[in-house]
Amino acid sequence: MLAATLDGFCQPLRIGQVARPVPGRGEILVRLEASGVCHSDVHIWKGGLRPPLNPSPFVLGHEGVGIVAAVGSDVSGWMIGDRAGVAWLHNTCGTCDECRAGEESFCQMQNASGFNVPGTFAEYTVADARFAAKLAQGDAAAIAPLLCAGLTAYGAIKRAGLKAGESCVIFGCGGLGLYAVQIARRLGARVIAVDTDPEKLRIAATHGAETTVLATPLLAQQWDSSHRAHVCINFAPTTATWDAMVAVMRPRGRIISAAMVSEPVALSQEWLASSGVSITGTSVGTRTQMGELIDLHARAPLIGQITRIPLKDVTMALMALDAGTAKGRYCIIF
């Protein structure tokens, strides 16, 4: 099969032939129609996020949509010809406190597609049948980004416990943030979108953001007090949003960190004690949330700004995501 393999960090992915995988016990083989390219793939490609042991072949990707081409032993609920989604969670331990509590995305023993096992930048991939997503018909390129970008946005909103009538500030209106704007609006929340790019704010407004705010270095000092929020979700991969995130919060509000930012931020415990604000993080989403998201999309499709590319252009997509010049989501079409 044709695949894009990581032979060296920060090096162009090699496009070439590798052995087609064979599904084992409890696994299905998926012939891919499309695969999204995610910012997490950039972290892995650059070596900032490294698995304990590289998969062989080292194929990135975890937003795959395809057709079941073969079924391994001891698999129930899947047949050849079914449509399947392959997301970040390849499997989890199933026995830790997080798994038993239904919070499997925080399992510390998880295996991830495109990280611990070969992913979806290939014509075929193997998925754990328990974790593959059941998908309906529809444009594969429109569905693929939902498997990570959409699920992460949905999981963040669920973790925030956002309710109808509440206000929600969303920092970062790239692919994830724009999905979050749409989902929060469908829940009946008042959405305030913040970004440094006026064009992204324009799109956010068309997706339901009631108010848009251009981010500047003085945003924290200049925030309109009438726009204090119950919920703040950060999708921007930078510490530059932190002061503004604090400034926008109402007492007893909820801050959700959805971006992978390794640098620390300053936190006043006095402010935390006096405000009662809750701060937590989110990691992708669960299988249950995936089913809810797919149903939501089936009822009224979520809109994504998607650029379709051939597999040979995947390194270009990674470079554009890294440089911050990507417009929406890239999606490989097989």
Q: Report the percentage of the chain scoring pLDDT > 90.
A: 93
Question: Does 80 have pLDDT greater than 90?
Answer: yes
Specify the pTM. Answer: 0.94
Query: Quick one: tokens of 311?
Result: 């597999």
Residue-wise pLDDT tens digits, 145-179: 999 999 999 999 999 999 999 999 999 998 899 99
pLDDT band, residue 16 (cuts 50/70/90): very high
| Spatial separation of the C-alpha atoms in residues 58 and 27, rounded to whole Å | 19
| Spatial separation of the C-alpha atoms in residues 109 and 326, rounded to whole Å | 32
Question: Does 330 have pLDDT greater than 90?
Answer: yes
Helical H segments across the chain, by residue range? 39-46, 97-100, 140-143, 149-160, 175-186, 198-206, 219-222, 242-247, 269-275, 287-299, 314-323
Give the mean pLDDT of 36-61.
Answer: 95
Is residue 150 within 8 A of residue 297, CB to CB? The reply is: yes
| Spatial separation of the C-alpha atoms in residues 1 and 125, rounded to whole Å | 10
Domains and CATH numbers, the chain: 2-148+284-333 (3.90.180.10), 153-281 (3.40.50.720)
